[in-house]
Chains A and B, each alone.
Chain A
Amino acid sequence: MRSLHALTGALAAGLFLACAAAAIGAAPITPTRDDEVIEVLPASAGERGEDRQLRKRLAARPDDAKLATAVARRYLEQARESGDPRFAGLALAALRAWPDANVAPDEVLLLRATLEQYLHEFDAAVAHLRLLLARPGSERQSQAWLTLATVLRVQGRYAESDAACRAIAAAEVYQSACLAENAALRGETAAARRSFETMLAARGVPAPTRGWLTTSLAELEERDGRVAAADAAYRNVLRLGPDTYAAIAYADFLIGQRRPAEALAVLKDEARTDTVVLRLAIAGTLARSATAARDVAEMRERIALANERPEASIFHGREQAMFALVVERDPERALALARGDVARQREPLDLLVFAQAARASGRRDAIEEARRLKASIGLHDRRIDALL
């Protein structure tokens, strides 16, 4: 009897602890005091009061283009920094006084196209940029041409992207970088490498420019199969200072090289955006790290939440395909997601994931489909060649 009581005691204590633990992760919030904090708002770009004042001023004069673009640009910066798509929505709202693109001022139209690019609405972005660039006197809008070249490149339309690159004022480093990037994607590797190295050797190149030029060089070497050169270039970028894009690209490179533990180390200080958590989950799974279960569970949760919107699996097709392929080990689903993804965006990583999913599914028609797509774009990528 005594032991039974001990057992009951233990059972009750266990249940109590379990209940108490559940209380921490509880769904309903039942505040008891007025000063209880129930939500911490996302960090503001500047003073929080300033944000609010800008919103108020814009509400009073919604058609003040200068003010509207200032507010929108501020939110776009926040979206890029935090990876939080809500800010892109707020930025679009700041431009709502011009629903008709035909009569929107130049700077409003450019910003709208940039936001569409951020939201992966590439066709809309291209249409708006072309509309803007067709206006008289706007031929010299380098920023618009550069954005257009970038969007067309993401869509795998390299020849059209070249044309946009050439329209950028020739004196700017952007023009040569823009053209070198396309050349590298097409496999004109030696020329592109020389071009990047010349630009980097020039004096007085500001650190951010140096950063993205070196990243482009690293990606070039990676696609060309020069592992040591790519590795060195990525490490050069990250030595310049924190760079989320480069950190993710390097992590993908390390995962591809079966060095997942190093990928985890590269990402350890990055903010936990969706793209970062995805890589942590993948690298953690491959490295069998202690934190893998947590990151996998979190990523699965985020995907489930995002997919409450039916179109989400299209917008985040690449990421969801990567997760399905490596973590869920579901090649059929990965293939379906990757196929939906390459219908919209065709960066090397999109095609690589498609090829990986096709190979993992073992379906000849899918492999053939990936091969044809790669050929039609004219992409040079030895990683993909090895799969097809």
Chain B
Amino acid sequence: MPCSDALRALVAVALLVGTGIAGAHKASDSYLQVTAAPGQLDVRWDIALRDLDVALDLDSDADGKLTWGEVRAAWPRIEAYALRRLAIEGCPLAAVGRGLERRNDGAYAVLLLRSSCTLAEGAPRISYGLFADVDPTHRGIAKVQRAGQQIALSVLEPSAGMTSAERTSVTAASGVAAASSPATSPADARSPTTSAHSRWEFLLEGVRHILTGYDHVLFLLCLLIPSVMRRAPGGWQPVERLGQAVWPVVGIVSAFTVAHSITLGLAALKLVSLTPAFIEPAIAATIVLAAFDNVLPIFPVRRVVVTFFFGLIHGFGFAGVLAELNLPRADFAWALLQFNLGLEVGQLVIVAVATSVLFGVRRWRGYAKVVIGAGSAVAMAIGVVWLIERIGNVSILPF
């Protein structure tokens, strides 16, 4: 997508804010995003709250307004209702997460479903029965993405057949609702979205998140690039010994770690909450500023202090992922600790590799110009594009 298009989209989005978006009229659609990998199938299913209200009377006080309290209380019913109306052949689905999303025509419930199955080759056989009894003009718009293949789009028509078959099975054995969606049992009504997690799952999630969280990696790299050099009157000079590089790195990494642990903890305990719409662009901004500082020092205070402040922002970003993972309430502290430890392990790996490589090439003559100069410029450029993407809610880069 050329940048002018991105900017146009950005302006369009900005202009849409505050206009009569709620007046948008379209037929009822749900959106299914199916991601299939060997041994794992992930489904993200967005369903309009106003459609769910017709089927399930979410608006318990009938005042025409859906509050978070009403939706939260109804969530187990939403999951049970939806899960009974979707089947992907060979892949029994269980709910693993939830969210809410604002679309042009209103607020949507987001159901994250998962199955440890390998989707059979060929067109996936999806039985779809959502709202068959409420609105026959409803459709499910499915995007199926298999690893290494193009996205396949299909429109699912709700078939009453499926719903009625399910209905018979429900009446035949009462309580089958809980069986068909293991996440939902009456005892678990308040936090309906956890499936069985292995003991160290969140440690791995932490590692995975920092290694694949390119924005955090890029930010760390921006901070590390100049650490094997020091500013001398005649420009950048390589440091003599490894120790001279290690100590600043330790300082920076510690500041980053302490800071993001603080905000991650605060957010996880729900003491502080900041919307991702602010945090995600802010993270991109930290990259731009850190990279810029490599080329032209702009921070009035020491880098460690700046790193600390920026680390606070990144911590909120980590917390967002944590929320998506839906930690089990019972072992909340344990899971949080695991996730944070995972982040630190991943971070240490990155720092160790990057510092060694940088230290190795520090005496190269082009280091200041190419690695610091051009590297920072590239980082800045990526940061700016991310900033645009995240503010405008558009997609420019493939990662």
Contacts and interface: CB of A to CB of B under 8 A. Distances in A.
Interface of A: 4-5, 7-8, 11-12, 15-16, 18-44, 48-49, 52, 55, 82-86, 88-90, 92-93, 96, 119, 271-274, 277, 293-294, 297-298, 300-302, 305-306, 308-310
Q: Interface SS of chain B: helix, strand, loop or mixed? A: mixed
Given A23-B278, A25-B13, A38-B100, A89 B289 contact: no
B155 A22 contact: no
Given A37-B67, A38-B71, A93-B134, 12 more contacts: A7-B298, A18-B391, A23-B277, A26-B102, A28-B275, A34-B72, A38-B68, A39-B107, A89-B28, A93-B136, A297-B12, A308-B141
B323 to A, nearest CB: 8
Interface in B17-58: 17-29, 31, 49-51, 53-54, 57
Indicate the member of A19, A32, A309 with the most B CB atoms within 10 Å.
Answer: A19
A29 B50 contact: no
A146 B59 CA distance: 40
B67 A40 contact: no
B366 interface: no
B374 interface: no
A291 B71 CA distance: 36
Contacts of B65: 37, 39-41
B395 to A, nearest CB: 12
Point out which of A7, A19, A22 has the most chain B C-beta atoms below 10 A from its C-beta. A22
Contacts of B133: 93, 96
A19 B391 contact: yes
Interface string B376-398: 00000000000100111100000
Range of interface residues on B (Cβ < 8 Å): 35 or more
Given A31-B68, A305-B24, A306-B26, A41 B53 contact: yes
Given A41-B53, A85-B27, A96 B64 contact: no
Interface in B229-268: none
A25 B390 contact: no
16 contacts: A11-B289, A12-B285, A21-B391, A27-B101, A34-B72, A35-B69, A38-B67, A41-B50, A41-B59, A48-B59, A96-B133, A297-B16, A301-B16, A301-B24, A302-B104, A305-B103
B135 A90 contact: yes
Contacts of B138: 89
B15 interface: yes
Nearest to B107: A39
Interface of B: 11-29, 31, 49-51, 53-54, 57, 59, 62-69, 71-72, 99-107, 133-139, 141, 155, 160, 273, 275-278, 281-282, 285, 288-289, 296, 298-300, 323, 387, 390-393
A305 B23 CA distance: 13
**A-B interface, 5 closest residue pairs, ranked by CB to CB distance from nearest:** A26-B277, A34-B69, A89-B135, A89-B137, A31-B68
A37 B100 CA distance: 12
Contacts of A300: 12
Contact of B17 (A16, A25, A272): A25
Contacts of B27: 85-86, 89, 306, 309
Contact of B64 (A25, A40, A294, A308): A40
Contacts of A96: 133, 136, 160
A348 to B, nearest CB: 24
B151 to A, nearest CB: 13
B281 A19 contact: yes
Contacts of B387: 15, 18
A38 B277 contact: no
Contact of A39 (B50, B62, B139): B50
Given A31-B100, A92-B136, A25 B25 contact: no
Nearest to A62: B133
Nearest to B52: A39
A85 B50 CA distance: 13
B19 A298 contact: yes
B16 A93 contact: no
A3 to B, nearest CB: 11
Contacts of A28: 99-102, 275-277
Contacts of A90: 54, 134-135
B106 A39 contact: yes
Nearest to B20: A272
B62 A309 contact: no
A28 B298 CA distance: 34
B16 to A, nearest CB: 6
A82 B25 contact: yes
B137 A92 contact: yes
B23 A15 contact: no
Contacts of B278: 19-20, 22-23
A29 B136 contact: no
Contacts of A297: 11-12, 15-16
Nearest to A29: B100
A60 B212 CA distance: 52
A239 to B, nearest CB: 26
A338 B366 CA distance: 61
Contacts of B12: 297, 300-301
B390 to A, nearest CB: 7
B64 A12 contact: no
A5 B275 contact: no
B314 to A, nearest CB: 14
Contacts of B393: 22, 25-27
Nearest to A8: B298
Contacts of B62: 48-49, 52
Given A29-B107, A41-B64, A22 B15 contact: no
A86 B51 contact: yes
Contacts of A52: 57, 62
Given A49-B62, A93-B135, A273 B277 contact: no
A309 B24 contact: no
B26 A85 contact: yes
Contact of A12 (B59, B141, B277, B289): B289
A189 B99 CA distance: 60
Nearest to A276: B23
B379 to A, nearest CB: 16
A307 B170 CA distance: 36
Contacts of B99: 28-29
Nearest to B160: A96
